[in-house]
Amino acid sequence: MTITGTPAVAARTTPPVDACASSGGTALVAALLGFTVITVDVSAVNIALPDIRASLHGGMTGLQWVVDAYTLMFAGLMLSAGALSDRAGARRAYAWGTGLFTLASLACALAPGIGALIGARVVQGGAAAILMPASLALIRQAYDDARRRARAIALWTVGGSVAMAAGPVLGGVLTETVGWRAVFFLNLPVGAAILTLLLRVAPSPRRPAPLDVPGQITAVLTLAGLTFAVIEGGHAGWTSAPALTSAALAVVGAIAFYVTERRHRAPMVPLPMLRRRTVSVSLAVGFAINVAFYGLVFMLGLYLQQGRGMSALTAGLVFVPLAAIITATNLVSPRMAERFGRRPVIVIGQLVLALAMFVLLPLDDGTPMWLVILLLVPTGLGGAFAIPAVTAMLMDSVPGQRVGTASGLLNAFRQTGGALAVALFGTLVADGGEGVFSLAGMRVSLVVAGGLLCGTAALAGWLLPRAGR
């Protein structure tokens, strides 16, 4: 099924079926490459952080913003990026996003200081938000047959999961062998390849989807204020002027967002949708899983390099078994959900991930590396087991015309969870601000993540529907 607008627009812009079919494989490769590269950028940078700090002389606050500047813009702009893709057409929006992401990656690679790097990461995150929904729209446009389209989307999903797991490995290899700037330079040939492939993809239909500019602005202000308050509160004190001002900005932004969404004729977040149990619980589960996974990857990169004195390459290789487990579990999860139902898979996945947080509590500077790798096994199993079922349940719980909105919401909540985890856990492991990695802070962070997962697992078990796959 192609994405169309009004009948008149569809008649003029919808490409012939043969064109869609002939460019289907090309569109899938282009979509997969883009989704992979924006996902790798979320996790690969974590391993490069110590080298970035040494090169650009940034403290822990700067390192947190290197990660969160990207993640926050990714999360905040995700809410309206789907509408932008509809208005411009998937292929055009995807090309815009790819070009902007590639240029921002070049700016990251050439950054002379930590401030310039953070600024370039902001642009990167905004471009990534454009790429995400446009990549899915490309696939939907290219495959008319529902079964072929489902297989293509499954490949897209698995590709993203593999990229997330493999990001630390790739980041470690590039940082150690070439330097941290290579993590960003790698995006340049990938971006060029995507733009070349798009020349062979059929033009996309355009739909006059409304943009909710006030809602978008207030959403970004709220997320930025909240994250800044957490980071500054940990370093300058929770009652410091920057922390209190940022917290006040977040509160005002949240109120303004709520009022805007209630009054806007086409809100990017329809508030009645959030009142559905399945939607609200799915968003909470996605948030909690990313708090645990993103937070753990961030802390492990610092633990292995600063706490254990490992090189970036060796630290990256520690993640190889984790990447393999996540990939295998992603492939198994849909079959388990089909056999036993989605709710048990979602609950069990969260509880396994919570267990993963708790079993890592005894880690110290002398823990044998074989044991560290073994203790990471539940981490690979838990989130990868639950997320496909959460995504499928959410998509099935909303009307067809709201699937894009629901998908954007889930991704926004997941990215927000990751951003806040880096903000909070970064302050806890910084040992007072700017230097020594704190094992005690990591343990507190693991307990917070594990407790949150137990809470959302209980919520899912109580509120999600019992029946249905």
Q: Which of 256, 267, 219, 250 is nearest to 73 (CA)?
A: 219
Specify whether the CB–CB gap between 461 and 304 falls below 8 A: no
Distance of CA 394 to the CA centre of its chain: 17
Quote the pLDDT of residue 458.
95
CA angle 148, 153, 157 (to 5 degrees): 150
Alpha-carbon span 336 to 397, nearest angstrom: 19
Q: Mean pLDDT across the chain, nearest whole number?
A: 83
Contacts of 38 (CB under 8 A, 6+ apart): 74, 101, 127, 128, 131, 132
Q: What is the pLDDT of residues 407-450, one digit of tens each?
A: 778 888 888 898 889 888 988 887 655 556 889 999 999 999 99
Alpha-carbon span 121 to 104, nearest angstrom: 7
- Type of residue at 386: A
Torsion of CA 82, 228, 183, 98, to 10 degrees: 20
Q: What is the pLDDT of residues 73-91, one digit of tens each?
A: 888 887 777 777 777 788 8
Alpha-carbon span 48 to 58, nearest angstrom: 13
**Token code pair at residue 174:** 């590039």
Position 20 pLDDT exceeds 50: no
Query: Which of 99-103, 241-245, 436-440 shows the highest mean pLDDT?
Result: 99-103
Cut 0.85: pTM above it: no
**Token code pair at residue 322:** 């984790």
Residues in the chain, overall count:
469
**Token code pair at residue 194:** 């995507």
Q: Mean pLDDT across the stretch 388-399?
A: 81
Query: Which DSSP helix (H) or strand (E) runs through 246?
Result: helix 241-263
Quote the pLDDT of residue 152.
79
Res. 150 pLDDT band, cuts 50 70 90: low
Q: What is the DSSP string of 162-178?
A: HHHHHHHHHHHHHHHHT
Specify whether the CB–CB gap between 142 and 20 falls below 8 A: yes
Res. 466 pLDDT band, cuts 50 70 90: confident
Q: What is the pLDDT of residues 159-212, one digit of tens each?
A: 777 787 778 888 888 998 999 999 999 999 999 999 999 988 877 777 776 778
Q: Please indicate whether residue 220 or residue 17 has the higher confidence score (pLDDT).
A: 220
Say which range, 24-28, 117-121, 243-247, 321-325, has the weakest mean pLDDT.
Answer: 24-28
Q: Which of 286, 298, 281, 289 is nearest to 450 (CA)?
A: 289
Q: Which of 112, 163, 160 is nearest to 136 (CA)?
A: 160
Quote the pLDDT of residue 64.
86
Specify whether the CB–CB gap between 121 and 107 falls below 8 A: no
